[in-house]
Amino acid sequence: MNRRDFLAAGTAALLAPRLGWASSSQDLVAQPVTAQILPDDSPASAMWGYNGNTPGPELRLAQGGFVDVRFLNQINQGSAVHWHGLRSENAMDGVPGLTQDIVPSGGEFAYRLRAPDAGTFWYHAHNRSWEQVAKGMYGPLIVEERNPPDVDHDMTVLIDDWRMSETGVLAADFDSRHDQSHAGRLGNFARAIITPEAQLRTGDRVRFRLLNVATDRIFPVELTGIQGKVVALDGMPLTTPQDIADLVLTPAQRVDIIADVTAPEIVQFLFPTPDSPYVMGEITVSGANDQRIASPITPLPANEIAQPDLDAALLLTLTMEGGAMSPRSTSFSDIWGFNGQSGLTDKPFHDFERGQTARISLVNDTRFPHGIHLHGHHFFELNADGEPGAFRDTTLIEAGETRDILCVFDNPGKWLLHCHMLGHQAAGMKTWVNVS
């Protein structure tokens, strides 16, 4: 990651309008939009979004509920919507060719979402995602706790990068094989889109929901002007909130923070670099909150999750292979693969019996980091001592590293398992599992 990748930072007016579920049904319309990515006088870009905007609306629903979303596809490509991190019903997972037919241009699809877990999730296009997500087809999906924590502000912070051309509009080079065989299609302009637009007061308690919605870039993040704790990862509450240090979000990961504003003037979201940090977003602080009485930050209410049976776990290995400067020669059909296989075939990586616990060694035998995402489930990252750590849906594995995960496969259906660097997924780094 290096600073020269970036052209500039700034704060143009990209906002995700909030959309509560006033009724139990909602339209989500994929359509062409124009968006001003670079600040000031630069031109607007022709992009894709939902309901007239990129990012799409922030969808908020109540834990335990169902909601109907009628998806209408008005872009000139087939599409489908994936509800990332929601432990949904398989038929609603939004993966064309695996869980549903593609929704053609002009077509529609009725999604019925269920929300067993409270937390910070998101939705995004899942056809030609390396292009459709890069063009803006994503939005936050928030499932509210039955008893939400006591905060003065609940803010969503979408972190993204865009690759802008010399003329200041979104570059159109989505299918570059060079990008795909390296670190993916990295942008040259990054920003945190913070909603709602609000001012903070010193002493306010704030919940920040950080989401990395970039197609390929790993974001380290530093916050200034606050003091607080990380309370959830990938939507799932931590039993013990952790200090905010060395935050790194690989594409698709989320971090929930609850913090008190300590600064008198400004709270900043920084991309740390060795020389001078890059400001991705900031919020003005003005005045003081004299009402709030200092109190410790407590864990969020736990979601109900199946406990893994570590002793009875089935042992499996998933090896990431391929890419530029690959340490070994690979013979599969595309740039990347798992276990000697590139892309999807009729044969799943594994057929699980419903409720089975598996311990999977994720072996990164490549020269690049990968963020591995499993649909329909969360899994425990195993610590160095073999104990279950964070409960996530996407895990970052550095080049040459191995990480074991522990998962209870209790959601029946066909679930994608892939790298969420979308350029890598485009070039073969995906497989699927079956749970029956």
User: What's the CA gap between 426 and 424, in Å, rounded?
Assistant: 5
Which does residue 419 bind out of ligand C2O, Cu ion, none, counting CB within 5 to 8 angstroms by kind?
Cu ion
Which does residue 84 bind out of Cu ion, ligand C2O, none, counting CB within 5 to 8 angstroms by kind?
ligand C2O
User: What's the CA gap between 368 and 326, in Å, rounded?
Assistant: 9
Nearer to ligand C2O by Cβ, of 51 and 127: the residue is 127
Q: Shortest gap between Cβ of 129 and ligand C2O (angstroms)? A: 7
Nearer to ligand C2O by Cβ, of 121 and 269: the residue is 121
Which does residue 370 bind out of ligand C2O, Cu ion, none, counting CB within 5 to 8 angstroms by kind?
Cu ion
User: According to the binding rule CB under 5 A, does residue 421 interact with Cu ion?
Assistant: yes
The identity of residue 250, as a single letter, is T
Mask: binding to ligand C2O, 258-287, rule CB under 6 A, as x and -?
Answer: ------------------------------
User: According to the binding rule CB under 6 A, does residue 373 interact with ligand C2O?
Assistant: yes
User: What's the CA gap between 201 and 33, in Å, rounded?
Assistant: 35
Strand partners, 125: 81
Nearer to Cu ion by Cβ, of 254 and 420: the residue is 420
Q: Shortest gap between Cβ of 226 and ligand C2O (angstroms)? A: 28
Q: Shortest gap between Cβ of 372 and Cu ion (angstroms)? A: 8
Q: Shortest gap between Cβ of 137 and ligand C2O (angstroms)? A: 12
Site for ligand C2O in 105-124 (CB under 6 A): 124
Number of residues that bind ligand C2O (CB under 6 A): 10
* 137 Cβ contact list (under 8 Å, min separation 6): 30, 48, 49, 50, 54, 56, 79, 124, 125
User: According to the binding rule CB under 6 A, does residue 84 interact with ligand C2O?
Assistant: yes
User: According to the binding rule CB under 5 A, does residue 87 interact with Cu ion?
Assistant: no
- Ranges assigned E (strand) in 145-245: 153-162, 189-195, 200-202, 205-212, 219-224, 226-233, 236-243
Q: Shortest gap between Cβ of 421 and Cu ion (angstroms)? A: 4
User: What's the CA gap between 318 and 339, in Å, rounded?
Assistant: 6
CA torsion 310-311-312-318 (nearest 10°) is 60
Strand partners, 124: 82, 138
Q: Shortest gap between Cβ of 128 and ligand C2O (angstroms)? A: 12
Gyration radius of the chain over CA positions: 21
User: What's the CA gap between 394 and 93, in Å, rounded?
Assistant: 16
User: According to the binding rule CB under 6 A, does residue 252 interact with ligand C2O?
Assistant: yes
User: According to the binding rule CB under 5 A, does residue 372 interact with Cu ion?
Assistant: no
Site for ligand C2O in 398-417 (CB under 6 A): 416
Which residue's Cβ has the minimum distance to ligand C2O? 84
- Tell which residue, 114, 96, 125, has the closest CA to residue 411: 114
Q: What are the helix (H) ranges across 187-268?
A: none
User: What's the CA gap between 353 and 52, in Å, rounded?
Assistant: 43
Which does residue 350 bind out of ligand C2O, Cu ion, none, counting CB within 5 to 8 angstroms by kind?
none
Which does residue 416 bind out of ligand C2O, Cu ion, none, counting CB within 5 to 8 angstroms by kind?
ligand C2O
User: According to the binding rule CB under 5 A, does residue 370 interact with Cu ion?
Assistant: yes
Secondary structure class of 290 (helix, strand, coil): coil
User: According to the binding rule CB under 5 A, does residue 424 interact with Cu ion?
Assistant: yes
* 243 Cβ contact list (under 8 Å, min separation 6): 229, 230
Nearer to Cu ion by Cβ, of 226 and 433: the residue is 433
Out of 419, 427, 433, 435, name the contact with Cu ion by CB under 5 A: 419
User: According to the binding rule CB under 5 A, does residue 397 interact with Cu ion?
Assistant: no
Secondary structure class of 91 (helix, strand, coil): helix
* 274 Cβ contact list (under 8 Å, min separation 6): 3
Residues that bind Cu ion (CB under 5 A): 370, 419, 421, 424
**Interface residues toward ligand C2O, by CB under 6 A:** 82, 84, 124, 126, 252, 373, 375, 416, 418, 420
